[in-house]
Structure 1
């Protein structure tokens, strides 16, 4: 009799250990979900999240709320997700700046390699190197020659000290072996306008920002920062093929959860994101603003973080960039 009672007790404990967690995982989500965008409303990551949120809500059976927590190069919102409970109810959607650039510039309240669990990469865009359409610079070779002829006379604009445009310009300088003077502006729009009105020589601006001016005949594109031509400017070759060896810079948008989030929940998010972002209406809208669909798994994202974080740390040290 005692043996039967003992066996029943053991069976009950085993059932709790092995079945209990399954029930806990099946309960996800148990409340409304939040997608944190560490940037102001209206930008690419905000657009991505708001376009896909209705479909994600439908798939998960709970409201999906998009929450903007901007500031400090995206590190405020990123830090908020890092500190949140690892239960899958808060997700981060961001371009790579707070993941691989900000930590190279200044101390961040998180380690992107340890404190975040990559979920998936969802899109990618690249920058175009542009000059004024009336400029005597007609190619990357012309730009390099001008910079070598008068070191520091060629100027390049960006949306601010430590921005992706700034770091891209510094990387071009280092890879091409030239000297250009950085002129920071307060926004990406002002950075491009500065080239249009000939305040600066060149800018490595996003294709979304520069394309209307290129089509209007006000700017001339010299090349793109990615490893292949952009489908939005197929006539422009990568800078790596035009005298800037090793140039391979894109803006990539990925989703992350807090570290220690259960694998089953990460899998649920991955499946949900894949279905939501493959929706034709979502794809069409993202395509219209220059974001190309790209899917990467967690292992690929982790490897990319390590590679790019190392790259930007070298660029920052070599250029002696001080983030303001």
Structure 2
């Protein structure tokens, strides 16, 4: 079956409307009409790197929402017309110890990514959701809660779940003293979700001008992380810190802000880090990370957001203006996530 997608054919080449093929429905497949797709920094990195192989297009997009327009003969959990959402994983081995506990994001055979991956059955490259349709295995399609803006739900499937799993695994609840480092796509959702869980949220930011935004999102206070005097006031005062900063940076000030047995989750920067053992030893502190989310916590996130009316703050652009979104994202000129309206692509 054919669909129109935004595809790039070489590193740093523009995304152009292109006809691509989606696979025929397998028994456990769901055919989705994509309505909105978030624009993630991962998309930028992938476009700079280019397609995985010559002659293969790169179609980004791994946080999207839409409507079911068809199901395979073995699908029982979805019907035509259902509102759904999909994140950055569309398959896994299903048998390893991680998959069997609903943590497919840590699949020991590596999960199949929504784009830039390899289909586990036919070996074809996966092409993302900067497109009008997407076909995915039902296990990795999620029910979208009613009453929420679809465009603002899309970033929950990447930015949202990336912060939700550590919040849940750390047991953040009423009374937890939570720190959030950075106030971008991940950070603003960490603040909003942490506040809804009942935590006392402190935002740690390099930008004094973001204090007002932090309070509006639900934080109790904002601290300028480059001000040593302000950081000293929060030393040893937090149980959990979610660090969403994507650039390399010193973790020591945030480890110092943890109380006894506190945990720092480093989510934004995925490269090497240097940590003084004594910064962990004093106070028995922990340094952890997480990425994306498995089935268990992803549906849990959507259900929680539906119950509490939580979505991302987004700027919606027509899919045909994707170049503008990518250029501004590279400049960090967005508050806090771009989302593409795919309806404009149907007539491209």
TM-based fold match above 0.5: no
In terms of fraction of residues, the more helix-rich structure is 1
For the pair shown, which has the larger CA radius of gyration, 1 or 2? Answer: 1
- With normalisation by structure 2, the TM-score equals 0.28
- With normalisation by structure 1, the TM-score equals 0.29
Higher RCO (CA-CA < 8 Å; seq separation 6+): 1
